[in-house]
Each structure stands twice: as C-alpha cells, then as structure tokens.
Amino acid sequence: MVFQMAEFFVHPTAEVSPKARIGKGAKIWHYAQVREDAEIGENCIIGKNAYIDFGVRIGKNCKIQNNCSIYHGATIEDGVFVGPHCILTNDKNPRAVNPDLTLKGASDWKVEKVLIKKGASLGAGTIILPGVTVGEWAMIGSGSVVTKDVPDFALAYGDPARVAGKVNKEGLKA
C-alpha cells in the first residue's frame, strides 16, 4: 500500500503501521519499517531500510539516515541527525532465553530509555547503549559507542565515547 497524501509521503516498499502517527511533510523511504504507536514529527526524513520500533518518539525536522535501528524506549527530540547505520539499543543484558532455556517473552525484557536531545548529531555507525542521554546540540563522532551521558554541546567520540571538546550549534569546534 502506498501512502501518498498531502500530509506525508511513504514509499511503496516501506511498511508503516496504521497505528503509527506521522507528521505533516514527513518522508519515509524504501524498505523502512515504522511500528505501531511510533510517532514521527513534521518534516522528518526516514531513510532507506530504517527500523523504527513500537512506541519510539521522533520530534520534528529530524533526519534518520539509511539502515538505522531505533528500538523501543528511544526518544529523539527536534532537529536531530542520526547518521547511517546507527543503533539506539534498549536492553543492557540481552538474552534470547531465560536461565531455564525457555524463550524470553515480551514481559521478560527490561527496557531502558535512550534520549537524544534537540539539535544533536550522531555520526555514521554510532551505537547508543541503554540508559544514555545525548545532550542538546552534542555531536558524536562516527563509529562511536556511547556508554554514558554526553553533555550539551559536547564533542564525543571513540569506543567508549569520551568528551573531547565542545561544538556550537553549527557543529563547529567551539
């Protein structure tokens, strides 16, 4: 099914739950999946093959690049850039099974939240671990693994990511 409405655009190969809320002017591209109860704000761009899990909140004017996985428990505020192949995780102790080797069900997971604040940028291949907040206008370098909170306007990179300076709203070193 293709959603070509005056309000927003969904490519014919994308899969968008009828229970998702999509803002005016949003564009959802090839093979993206948007699950139930996800919210995508006005003018957002969701790239090819992106996965937006159920209940995820994305503010307005965000760019989620190709092949990103954004899992339940994530909130992305307005004006955030999520580079290609980023992952926002939600479980610090993932297991497929319980100690008795029975398959875990939905009630067996402990979801921890991830918050990406307004204007922040995540470079390509960034991984954000559960329970982490990335501050306003912060910039995370490509390939970083973010294991703890990053302050507003911080430049952080590495594995694990460490603060290495400050940036301004244009993303330039301050």
> pLDDT at position 2, please?
46
Alpha carbons 10 and 29: distance in angstroms, whole number? 6
Say yes or no to pLDDT of 117 above 90. Answer: yes
At the second CATH level, the architecture of 93-174 is: 3 Solenoid (2.160)
Instruction: Please name which of 109, 59, 101 lies closest in space to residue 82, comparing C-alpha atoms.
Output: 59
What DSSP line would sit under 52-70, residue for residue? E-TT-EE-SS-EE-TT-EE
Beta bridge partners of 58: 40, 76
Answer whether 81's CB lies under 8 Å from 59's CB: no
Indicate the pTM of the whole model: 0.94
| Residue ranges of the chain that CATH labels 2.160.10.10 | 1-67, 93-174
CB proximity list for 106: less than 8 A, separation 6 or greater: none
Q: What is the pLDDT of residues 21-74, one digit of tens each?
A: 999 999 999 999 999 999 999 999 999 999 999 999 999 999 999 999 999 999
Q: Cis peptide before 160, with omega less than 30 degrees from 0?
A: yes
Fold of 1-67: UDP N-Acetylglucosamine Acyltransferase; domain 1 (2.160.10)
